[in-house]
Structure 1
């Protein structure tokens, strides 16, 4: 396929998968339970953090997080204290445990109390066509409180050559806005043009088969290469193709 044919093919797949029925089987269904901006972004960030492994397990534990926070993520975070720590007892998703969750809640509280919220922290270091430097600075801010070293592994750093799949997925959820109703588009300080594709096994394999990606490892360099390819197809909204790559890989075994 030439570039025009490839764009037409992928655009069709975006239309096929970027629609409400996609929500039913995806972790994005968890933040879709909420209307308040702060509720959506807080539970969205936590769910994206645990979004690796079995999708049913991610959704189950995402709903458990909602229950832990009494169906009010923002209120729970803002009023979180040592007395609430018992509510977290026994929570675990793969290597993310109750101690990690405890720190994440304290860090989120710090960000909303002292930095104006998640959107403001990411927007502070955003570049014209990239949020990877912003992710790096976000991680520094997020871990400025005393914490266990092990907890840092749950937030990736693109400047250390990580593809940062989960946090790029979270940013897609918050920033992309179209008429499909899947992504939220509630962050107005950032643009879809700045987003990077959440690169994982499925999207990476499909991208290679389509000639969008040559690098074999799914790392930061591969994410940058894929970004360049997708921007040639749509510079204003390159990450819409995440739906096409994911759908082709997961649902069509392309």
Structure 2
């Protein structure tokens, strides 16, 4: 699409929360300017109206004393407060889709939980759908309705959270879940890991991309398995109905 058409979608229909709140805001502009600029780019409103809306959004995401904080600069906010400001900016035009790229990675555990609770609450009030991109399986179990597992740029498993977490079908998904530290049961001397290293896009094999690291690989894995299944999809010859000769 031409840039002019893309601009009508970015921010208004699709918005994004980036991974690192420390670098997501321009340091020479106030937090309120960031939010108001987003609003004025898509709506015909005055500076005063955009600023008032920015104060409302900061209130909604839980920033204390928003009427004063709207004129603060990013370095005057903590990491958690910056991420709340980024969320306010993303929600400024009530987008239909919110893409969150590792939005809690740079935050401590307590702040992480607060941000996830905030996103779930705002999803209900704004009616936005959320696509969460993350390596943290704990975050996935907390927030996701449906899960898509990817490896080497390809989808390897897809299904509801319950099916993917309780009955994982792809070896990579099982490896991810087994690598999560357990809080109960027998204490392990060593945390299970997936052997080998992730592949670069230039090194992607012709068959299953996970085959070089998979303990269950066999001859059929030299061909690319399709993503198939009834509601719970998997790209693995071990779960396929037809295996190449």
TM-score in terms of structure 2 length = 0.29
Structure in which a larger fraction of residues adopt helix: 1
Structure in which a larger fraction of residues adopt strand: 2
More relative contact order in 1 or in 2 (CA 8 Å, sep 6+)? 1
TM-score in terms of structure 1 length = 0.28
